[in-house]
């Protein structure tokens, strides 16, 4: 049987290099939001929760997304200090799964990211009590207008909004194969370790 396995696709000395290479490809092929990840957390009872967020920063050894620190996702992420996320690029028929530990970004990256946003998005961050009950849309729009009027031009980053960094301990690369004989490689290490091990998995 003809094999579709492309060794170069999975080649790399460590997984972040492969991650970045796949991500660059996805930016060219996905119709929108190639950085959209399904982020999983668990609540205090161990019940999983998943939602999309945008993976805005890929660092040498970590990933950062931005959110409201009072939101459900942030509270749950910091409850266990652990999250997982999944990326599925339909255009490439590839998946990346990541598991790891979280830490609050110290604010430098969030300040830069926030400063580059449109004024409407900046004031929206102030106006949204993310994940809390909202009586009606008017209430949200009124809060947003009020912040726009108060701030006028210079909108500071709210201290309840910022980055969460994911420090990975497991990264799995998956590529579609004929007859569902897909290719999977998982990179693993223990928390605090720099060096990764890699092994191939049955599909
Ligand atoms: C494609 C997409 C991207 C999103 N990106 C973000 C994001 O970067 N940060 C964020 O807080 N919410 C983002 N959201 C909204 C979240 O999915 C979610 O509705 C919101 O953060 C509240 O989740 P929570 O109540 O679990 O905290 C995004 C939604 C979609 C569909």
The predicted structure's pLDDT at residue 53: 98
Task: Report all structural domains of the chain as residue ranges with CATH numbers, in order of start.
Answer: 7-116+160-201 (2.30.110.10)
Residue nearest to atom 28 of ligand 1 (CA): 53
Which ligand 1 atom is nearest residue 54's CA?
8
| DSSP structure class, residue 158 | P
Burial tier of 22 (Cβ tally within 10 Å: 0-12, 13-18, 19+): buried
- pLDDT tens for residues 171-187? 999 999 999 999 999 99
User: What is the C-alpha separation between 112 and 163, in angstroms, rounded?
Assistant: 11
Catalytic site residue from 117, 157, 180, 190:
180
The predicted structure's pLDDT at residue 106: 96
Whole-number Å distance, alpha carbon 61 to ligand 1 midpoint, is 23
Residues touching ligand 1 (Cβ under 6 Å) are 33, 36, 49, 51-54, 65-68, 71-73, 130-131
| DSSP structure class, residue 65 | E
User: What is the C-alpha separation between 184 and 9, in angstroms, rounded?
Assistant: 11
Whole-number Å distance, alpha carbon 52 to ligand 1 midpoint, is 5
Catalytic residue at 157? no
Whole-number Å distance, alpha carbon 184 to ligand 1 midpoint, is 28
- pLDDT tens for residues 95-137? 999 999 999 999 999 999 999 999 999 999 999 999 999 999 9
Q: For a substitution probing ligand 1, which of 32, 34, 37, 52 has the most ligand atoms within 8 Å of its CB?
A: 52
Sign of CA dihedral 192, 194, 199, 202: positive
- Quick one: which of 66, 38, 55, 65 has its CA closest to 122? 66
Residue 157 has pLDDT above 90, yes or no: yes
- Quick one: which of 96, 102, 94, 153 has its CA closest to 123? 153
- Quick one: which of 73, 70, 75 has its CA closest to 129? 70
Residue 2 has pLDDT above 70, yes or no: no
User: What is the C-alpha separation between 47 and 35, in angstroms, rounded?
Assistant: 26
Q: From the centroid of its chain, how far is CA 56? A: 7
The predicted structure's pLDDT at residue 103: 98
Beta strands in 112-176 (DSSP E): 161-175
């Amino acid at each position: 049987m003809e094999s579709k396995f492309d060794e170069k696709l999975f080649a790399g000395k460590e997984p972040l290099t492969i991650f970045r290479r796949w991500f660059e490809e996805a930016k060219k092929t996905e119709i929108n939001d190639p950085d959209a990840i399904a982020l999983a957390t668990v609540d205090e009872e161990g019940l999983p929760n998943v939602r999309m967020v945008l993976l805005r920063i890929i660092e040498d050894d970590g990933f950062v997304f931005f959110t409201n620190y009072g939101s459900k996702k942030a509270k749950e992420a910091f409850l266990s200090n652990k999250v997982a996320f999944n990326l599925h690029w339909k255009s490439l028929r590839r998946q990346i799964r990541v598991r790891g530990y979280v830490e609050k970004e110290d604010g430098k990256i969030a300040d830069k990211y926030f400063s580059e946003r449109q004024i409407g998005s900046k004031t929206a961050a102030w106006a949204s009590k993310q994940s809390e009950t909202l009586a009606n849309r008017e209430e949200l729009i009124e809060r947003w207008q009020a912040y726009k009027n108060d701030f006028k031009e210079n909108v500071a980053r709210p201290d309840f909004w910022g980055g969460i960094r994911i420090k990975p301990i497991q990264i799995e690369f998956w590529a579609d194969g004929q007859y569902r004989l897909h290719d999977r490689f998982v990179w693993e290490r223990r928390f605090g370790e720099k060096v990764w091990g890699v092994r191939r998995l049955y599909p």
